[in-house]
Structure formats: structure tokens, C-alpha cells
């Protein structure tokens, strides 16, 4: 990484700078650099203040990929090299959205008083998402493609817009539903690349799988913290918020082991699953 950026003075301004940058690789480079500055300031005993910012409702994005409704995104055939490129392209798109989502939660809810560990967790998660985006883009490029070469899912930012005024709703839907869904589906993707004898992509997906457990755990931790502060029942609040903000049922099979590791017990998600009496 040769790019370095003058970091803004506050976490919220770092977030704003990333959210208003349109280029994916540059977003990732800024994120990695700002996270390193954040850690250095913390270690020096002069932590970066949260500050305040007014983040855009939607982050800046590159001209490509073309964003389509999910039913118009061509279907993938994992047995072919083209199909595997399409899977990686979809993952790159998810990772880039995740970079923005983790900065967005810091900027958008900066006026909610939270312990210092809240910023620490989401700066780290944003840094890891930037690493994931780079890893997946590197694999795409090694396979002769690039992020932007294929169309991508247009609805990825909807959860952020729906929960723009509700920190608990954001935690329930983004890390505890959407990122938890990643834990369910990633082992199957790793298997596709293992069968295709592509150990470099398997290694990249193994890193993503291990680190995503942490992001779901951050979501669960801070969701439970806020429920405790409000003296409310976490399971009931979770069910209420997911029904309110998430469109549709949760899809089994669930990765119960990794969900448990991330602090999400079965009675949180099974009552919201397809076929359950919701």
C-alpha cells in the first residue's frame, strides 16, 4: 500500500471522507490508512475524537458496476470459470458496501453517547472490510476480470436507508441479519472454489469467513448493550426491529455454530425464518 492520506481530525470526518469517495480501491486505501491512524492515536494516549458529520443518505459509488434489481442480475453457474467470477464479483460488491456501512454507523450515530469500544470495533470492522474488498478484487483481477465488469445488486444500501434514524434497528438488520447471513452462505462458496482447485481464492474467503464472525459479534454486543441501557428484552426488541425494517423472512439453513460464536442464539432467528409462524 503506497497511498497515504492526511487523516481528518475526527472519526466522523474520516467516515465522511470515505463515504464521499467514489472509487472502490481508493475507498479501501483510505479506510486502511485512517484505521492505522486511529490505532496509532489510541496507542499514543491521544484518541481521535468522534466529532460530528452529516453523512450522505447514500455513499458515492463508481460509475461501474451497473446496478440492477436482483431479478435482472444474470444467474451464476458455479461450475464454470465465468460463474466463479460472477460469485467473486458479487462478493466484492458486498465488501464495498460493508466498508461504507461500517463508516456510516460511526458518522450517522456519532451523537449517541457510546463507550469508546464502539468506535474501536467499527473502525476495525471497516478496516477488515477494506482488506476483504482488496483480497476479492485481487482474485478477480488474477482471473482476468475486475470489479465493475459485471452488473451488481442495486438494493444493497436499502437497509442503511431504512435504519438511518434507528441505531438499534441498524444493529439488528445489518450485522445481526445481513452479515450473519454471510456466515450461513460462505462455507458453500469456499467449497465451490475448493472443488475448482483455486487455493488462492479459498485462502481469501477463509480470511473473510473468520473475520465476519467478529463483525456479527460486534453487532450483537452493542445491540445487547443498548437493550440493557434501555432495560428492554433483547430478543423481543430484535424480533420487533427485524420485522419492521427487514423485508422478508430469514432463510435457513442457518450456521448455528458460527451464529452462536457471534452471540446470536437460535431463539433470535428461528422465529423469523421462512415457514415459521411470524
Contacts with Fe ion, residue ranges (CB under 5 A):
95, 98, 129, 132, 179, 212, 215
DSSP symbols for the chain: -----PPPSSHHHHHHHHHT---HHHHHHHHHHHHHHHHHHHHTT-PPP-------SS----S-SPEE-GGGSPPP-TTSHHHHHHHHHHHHHHHHHHHHHHHHHHHHTTTS---HHHHHHHHHHHHHHHHHHHHHHHHHHHTT--TTSS-EEGGGGHHHHHTTT-HHHHHHHIIIIIIHHHHHHHHHHHHHHHHTT-HHHHHHHHHHHHHHHHHHHHHHHHHHHHHHHTT--HHHHHHHHHHHH--S-B-SPP-HHHHHHTT--HHHHGGGBTTS--
Considering the complex, what minimum distance in angstroms separates the CB of residue 128 from Fe ion? 6
Considering the complex, what minimum distance in angstroms separates the CB of residue 230 from Fe ion? 25
Please identify, using beta-carbon distances, which residue of 95 and 121 lies nearer to Fe ion.
95
Please identify, using beta-carbon distances, which residue of 33 and 129 lies nearer to Fe ion.
129
Residue nearest to Fe ion (CB): 215
Considering the complex, what minimum distance in angstroms separates the CB of residue 52 from Fe ion? 25
Please identify, using beta-carbon distances, which residue of 167 and 216 lies nearer to Fe ion.
216
Please identify, using beta-carbon distances, which residue of 86 and 136 lies nearer to Fe ion.
136
Considering the complex, what minimum distance in angstroms separates the CB of residue 157 from Fe ion? 15
Please identify, using beta-carbon distances, which residue of 98 and 177 lies nearer to Fe ion.
98
Amino acid at each position: 500500500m503506497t497511498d497515504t492520506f492526511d487523516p481528518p481530525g475526527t472519526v466522523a470526518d474520516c467516515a465522511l471522507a470515505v463515504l464521499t469517495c467514489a472509487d472502490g480501491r481508493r475507498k479501501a486505501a483510505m479506510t486502511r490508512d485512517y484505521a492505522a491512524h486511529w490505532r496509532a492515536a489510541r496507542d499514543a494516549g491521544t484518541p481521535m475524537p468522534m466529532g460530528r458529520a452529516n453523512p450522505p443518505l447514500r455513499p458515492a459509488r463508481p460509475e461501474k458496476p451497473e446496478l440492477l434489481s436482483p431479478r435482472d442480475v444474470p444467474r451464476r453457474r458455479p461450475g464454470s470459470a465465468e460463474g466463479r467470477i460472477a460469485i467473486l464479483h458479487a462478493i466484492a460488491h458486498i465488501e464495498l458496501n460493508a466498508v461504507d456501512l461500517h463508516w456510516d454507523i460511526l458518522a450517522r450515530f456519532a451523537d449517541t453517547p457510546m463507550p469508546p469500544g464502539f468506535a474501536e470495533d467499527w473502525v476495525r470492522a471497516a478496516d477488515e472490510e477494506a482488506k476483504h474488498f482488496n483480497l476479492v478484487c485481487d482474485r478477480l483481477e488474477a482471473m482476468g476480470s475486475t470489479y465493475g465488469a459485471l452488473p451488481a445488486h442495486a438494493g444493497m444500501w436499502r437497509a442503511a436507508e431504512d435504519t438511518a434514524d434507528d441505531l438499534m434497528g441498524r444493529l439488528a438488520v445489518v450485522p445481526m441479519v445481513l452479515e450473519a447471513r454471510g456466515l450461513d452462505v460462505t462455507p458453500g462458496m469456499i467449497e465451490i472454489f475448493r472443488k475448482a482447485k483455486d487455493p488462492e481464492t479459498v485462502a481469501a474467503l477463509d480470511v473473510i469467513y473468520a473475520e465476519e464472525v467478529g463483525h456479527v459479534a460486534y453487532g450483537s454486543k452493542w445491540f445487547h448493550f443498548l437493550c440493557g441501557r434501555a432495560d428492554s428484552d433483547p430478543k423481543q426488541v430484535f424480533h420487533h426491529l427485524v420485522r419492521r425494517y427487514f423485508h422478508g423472512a430469514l432463510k435457513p439453513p442457518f450456521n448455528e455454530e458460527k451464529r452462536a460464536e457471534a452471540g446470536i442464539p437460535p431463539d433470535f432467528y428461528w422465529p423469523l425464518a421462512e415457514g415459521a409462524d411470524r
